[in-house]
Structure formats: C-alpha cells, structure tokens
Amino acid sequence: TQLLEQSPQFLSIQEGENLTVYCNSSSVFSSLQWYRQEPGEGPVLLVTVVTGGEVKKLKRLTFQFGDARKDSSLHITAAQPGDTGLYLCAGEKNAGNMLTFGGGTRLMVKP
C-alpha cells in the first residue's frame, strides 16, 4: 500500500484540454513536492508546497496543498504535448530529509 496515492495512474488527453492529478494520503506532511520525469531522465523538481492551503502557479500548472497538509493536486490548463511525462508527488514527513513518493501519473498529451 502506497503511503501517497496518486490518481489517475494513466491519463491520455488531447492538446488543449485541462486535467487534474491528485495526490492523497492519510498522513500529514511538512512539505510536498511535485516532479516531472521524461523517458531516460531523472525526475525534475517542479514545485514545493509547504503551507496548508497554499497555491502555487507555474505558467499553466497550478499546484495546491490541502488545508490539512495530507493531500495535493496538480492542475494543468490547456495541456501541450510538451507536458507529456510521468508526474510524481513526494511528501516530506517531520522535516527528516526523507521523501515518500507516490506511484506516479503517466500523462500523454496528443497533438
């Protein structure tokens, strides 16, 4: 059982559509990070959210941390083929240097 559950696991959409990826847990995290990974490469950090209820925007990507710091979402507006990749959320507990990763959401955006 994953400590962090991501949904959906797979998502295939057309260019221009909107989508939301969810990252849920029963545990409280001191921070939560989102990464994107492309084939043959390591994950690349997109954003870190720290405060409950925090919303961060990165161009067409909007990240939200739940009020209770147990869940997070990633919303992409007007998806582009360049958004294709594996999206991973990772939670940090008790500021202990350790990250727990979710199982990932594989996104494919078709032109």
Partner 1 sequence: GAGVSQSPSNKVTEKGKDVELRCDPISGHTALYWYRQSLGQGLEFLIYFQGNSAPDKSGLPSDRFSAERTGGSVSTLTIQRTQQEDSAVYLCASSLGSAGPYEQYFGPGTRLTVT
Residues that bind partner 1 (CB under 8 A): 2, 6, 30-31, 33, 35, 39-45, 48, 50, 86, 88, 90, 92, 95, 97-104, 106
Least distance between partner 1 and beta carbon 12 (Å) = 15
Distances (CA, A) of 27 to 4, 45, 81: 8, 22, 34
Supply angle C-alpha 96, 52, 20, rounded to 5. 100
74 or 88: CB nearest partner 1: 88
Least Å distance, CB 83 to partner 1, is: 16
Nearer to partner 1, 55 or 78 (CB): 55
Nearer to partner 1, 39 or 82 (CB): 39
Backbone phi, psi, residue 75, to 5°: -115, 130
Nearest approach, Cβ of residue 10 and partner 1 (Å): 10
Nearest to residue 32, comparing CAs of 80, 81, 65? 65
Smaller CB distance to partner 1: residue 45 or 78? 45
Rounded Cα–Cα distance for residues 92 and 3 (Å): 11
